[in-house]
Amino acid sequence: MITIGCFHAHYSNIALIEETLAPYEVELVHYVDPGLDRLKHDADFSEVVIHEKVAQTLQWIAECHANAILVTCTLFATVLEQEAKQVTVPVIGIDDPLLQEMRRVSGEFIIVFTNPATVEGTMVRVNQALQQQHEQGDETVQLHVAKVSQTEAVCIPGTFELIMRGDQKGYLEAVREGLQQIAEQYPGKRVIAAQLSMAPAAAQVTIDRGIPIHSPLSSLATYLEENLGVARQ
């Protein structure tokens, strides 16, 4: 059985990962640290702090007999390209399945956030992913550059504070309304909920309104099957 150490910024993400991976033969060990989110507005806060904390925590989780690490916070995931190389086990960011999906399909994307602090870093990862040359056929870098210009980030204001103070119900309702409005505002574009905490609201809009909203949970299990070899029970 594979042991995955899950690195969260908020405890609410635990249930989402547990439910998604319940059908699989995998042990989940959860590590929650809300500190960076609480410090991010300090005057002396910088990306260096994120790098140091994420590097320390990844090393600690790896030492605790994890076979792989899943980082569910998009703020933490923004520095994984460098810090993941410092540990001996695979490290997967919560947005990795989304980035893979965006490389596979064409179209215009609207990437929706609730945490403003994660927008810049995530969009850098998105742009880098879409600029990579496709491994199949004769598709060129130019196609992916074109995709970058068609990708837009939108933040739903006043929502992230709700979940950080424990108002889960209020947060999900506000996110549901925001995603629905954005999807209706951008017909014909693929709307993506960037953060794991947004997944239940995205699923609700898809069910209630018939508007497909992609979220980090949409393809996480399949991604872990392909990249870690996790198997169903």
Digit-coded pLDDT (tens) for 2-36: 999 999 998 989 999 999 999 999 999 999 998 88
Please, is 133 exposed, middle or buried when counting C-beta atoms within 10 Å of its C-beta (0-12, 13-18, 19+)? exposed
Question: 57 in a domain, yes or no?
Answer: yes
Question: 58 in a domain, yes or no?
Answer: yes
Tokens of 117: 């602090």
pLDDT at site 133: 42
What mean pLDDT is predicted for residues 166-189?
Answer: 94
Q: Quick one: 12 and 48 in the same domain?
A: yes
Q: Quick one: 51 and 152 in the same domain?
A: no
Percentage of the chain with pLDDT > 90? 59
Which helix (H) or strand (E) segment is 21 a member of? helix 12-21
Tokens of 149: 């210009």
CATH number of the domain at 57, please: 3.40.50.1860
Q: Quick one: 58 and 70 in the same domain?
A: yes
Q: Quick one: 189 and 90 in the same domain?
A: no
Q: Which residues have a Cβ under 8 Å from the Cβ of 195 and sit 6 or more positions away?
A: 74, 94, 113, 114, 115, 118, 216
pLDDT at site 132: 66
| Overall domain count for the chain | 2
Q: Give the confidence band of 147 by pLDDT, cuts at 50, 70, 90.
A: low
Taking only the tens place, the pLDDT of each residue in 187-217 is 889 999 999 999 999 999 999 999 999 999 9
pLDDT at 136 over 90: no
Q: Quick one: 7 and 25 in the same domain?
A: yes
Q: Give the confidence band of 43 by pLDDT, cuts at 50, 70, 90.
A: confident
Residues facing 3 on adjacent strands: 27
Question: 193 in a domain, yes or no?
Answer: yes
pLDDT at site 148: 53
Q: Quick one: 169 and 185 in the same domain?
A: yes
The sheet with strand 190-193 has its strands ordered as 151-155, 109-113, 190-193, 213-214
Q: Quick one: 7 and 84 in the same domain?
A: yes
Question: 202 in a domain, yes or no?
Answer: yes
Q: Quick one: 62 and 47 in the same domain?
A: yes
pLDDT at 70 over 70: yes
Separation CA 8–CA 31 (nearest Å):
6
Q: State whether residue 177 is helix, strand or coil.
A: helix
Question: 233 in a domain, yes or no?
Answer: no
Which CA distances in Å does 139 have to 109, 124, 148, 151, 158?
Answer: 19, 22, 15, 19, 41
Q: Quick one: 162 and 192 in the same domain?
A: yes
CATH number of the domain at 126, please: 3.40.50.12500
Q: Quick one: 223 and 187 in the same domain?
A: no
Q: Give the confidence band of 60 by pLDDT, cuts at 50, 70, 90.
A: very high
Q: Quick one: 110 and 186 in the same domain?
A: yes
pLDDT at site 55: 95
Question: 183 in a domain, yes or no?
Answer: yes
**Token pair 């997944």: residue:** 199
Q: Quick one: 106 and 207 in the same domain?
A: yes
β-strand pairing of 151-155 with 213-214: unpaired
pTM of the model: 0.87
Structural domain for 42, as ranges: 2-94+219-228
